Chain A
Amino acid sequence: MMNLKGFRRPLAGAQPNYLHPPYVSSVKRAPTKRLVTIPQTLSEITGPIFGVERVDVKAFDLTKQHLGEPLGERIIVSGRVLDEDGRTVPHTLVEIWQCNAAGRYQHKVDMHDAPLDPNFTGCGHTLTDSEGRYRFVTIRPGAYPWKNHYNAWRPAHIHFSVFGPAFATRLVTQMYFPGDTLIPFDPIFNCTADETARQRLISEFDWKTTIPEQALGFQFDLVLAGREATPWEPPRPGGK
């Protein structure tokens, strides 16, 4: 018997369902059959680890990837990667991507009639430090229209990808900005039923990380599933 601790499952409503009809793209892509619940095995409680050799130390600063400076409002986005028990997750890879200040992605599929910024690519990555902290310097992304429904606009957001300690803790999410008037109307933000969980997606304006004369600071902590308190008992196979 292997004495391994798995990761907690989400509380009811604390993660989105696959099918969320207000988000139209989910309708043809969400699974229609019930997911098969399985215990986490060694395959799920291990996962890829990215060392410093896989990281460009300059990639935390999205405002310095070109000869000139990007247009827009410079911001500092920082925070910690934690688990549900408040334990920090050190040395884990965090990736971000976003549109520019005008609301346009540097991507061939983005047809929004807004200017590209030759000085802004909109992607970055970093490792959390020994205390689980990360920090990015970037530009506040713009809102942009999308085709989900008539007059649909995405609130400003930054995409985050984080690995954590295991395959089971892998998370891709989006960070929003406090006070954004588009948030209540956004079907993607609203896909999670639980209001408290949803509020996790909104960063906080932060004086402590705001740099005078230079950049506003926003704090955004990423909270991953915590470890089970006890090693699991193997459930009986043969169920559905």
Chain B
Amino acid sequence: MNLRATPSQTVGPFFSIGCDRLNATDLAEHSVPGERIEITGRVIDGDGNGVPDAMLEIWQANSAGRYAHPDDPQDKATETRFQGFGRIPTDSNGAFWFATIKPGPVPAPNGSPQAPHIVVSVFMRGLLRRLVTRIYFPDEAANDQDFVLNFVEPARRGTLIARGFSGEKTKLEWNVILQGENETVFFDIGL
């Protein structure tokens, strides 16, 4: 290693002028195979207030469990109409919404399947570097054996699992709680 990595800095309050262009809240057109899901939630600060100037970036596999990336070595179906990237701003109440398809399972380093999940970066004024977290799905037997969830103490795993609401399995709620008792689990993956 001969160069020092560039430190992260906050996106600040004005990032939307540079970032809105890539906003993508509906990731999968209807011809993309997979179970369509909608996820809504809020980003909440340490005072319990919604964060109106946050941005989520999500990354996920397709319904077969393959990433649209050349380093994914799996022999699974690729899907040219589905890239798996979303950029989702919060509104004036700190709320967000996105629609996508449920990702298939991807392997963990030890070869076991990970439970279906979406990886998430959270950016906002006040964060000097992004927060990294994951969205898992309710009623998913594979959650119990999931490689990453097993690094998390059981009492906090629920913060990573979306909840169904209004009786519809495909409409899910998942929140980003920045501080406090129900603080979302955030991961250290490096940067």
Contact = CB atoms under 8 A, between A and B. Distances in A.
Interface in A61-90: 82-86
B93 interface: no
A42 B178 contact: no
Contacts of B119: 43-44, 167
B112 to A, nearest CB: 9
Nearest to A124: B18
Contact of A29 (B51, B108, B114): B51
Contacts of B126: 23, 25-30
Contact of A43 (B1, B117, B186): B117
Contact of B188 (A35, A48, A86): A35
A191 interface: yes
Contacts, number: 281
Contacts of A25: 10, 125-126
Size range of the chain B interface in the assembly: 35 or more
Given A41-B148, A85-B3, A123-B21, A30 B127 contact: yes
Given A29-B127, A31-B131, A46 B18 contact: no
Given A4-B73, A168-B190, A97 B18 contact: yes
B40 interface: no
Interface residues of A, number: 96
Interface string B120-145: 01011111111100100000000000
Q: Which of B19, B126, B190 has the most CB of A within 10 A?
A: B190
Interface in B44-88: 45-47, 51, 53, 57, 59-61, 67-69, 71-73, 83-85
Summarize A's interface: helix, strand, loop or mixed: loop
A236 to B, nearest CB: 10
Given A38-B188, A107-B16, A239 B151 contact: yes
Contact of B84 (A48, A123, A192): A48
A12 interface: no
Given A7-B190, A36-B151, A223-B5, A172 B108 contact: no
Contact of B185 (A36, A125, A170, A174): A36
A121 B110 CA distance: 48
B144 to A, nearest CB: 12
Nearest to B179: A32
B190 A42 contact: no
A97 B15 contact: yes
Nearest to A13: B7
A16 interface: yes
Nearest to A123: B18
Contacts of B101: none
A77 to B, nearest CB: 14
Interface string B1-26: 11111111111111111110110000
B183 A32 contact: yes
Contact of A37 (B7, B61, B73, B151): B151
Contacts of B3: 82-86, 223
B13 A109 contact: yes
A122 B188 contact: no
Contacts of A48: 59, 68, 83-85
A197 B7 CA distance: 6
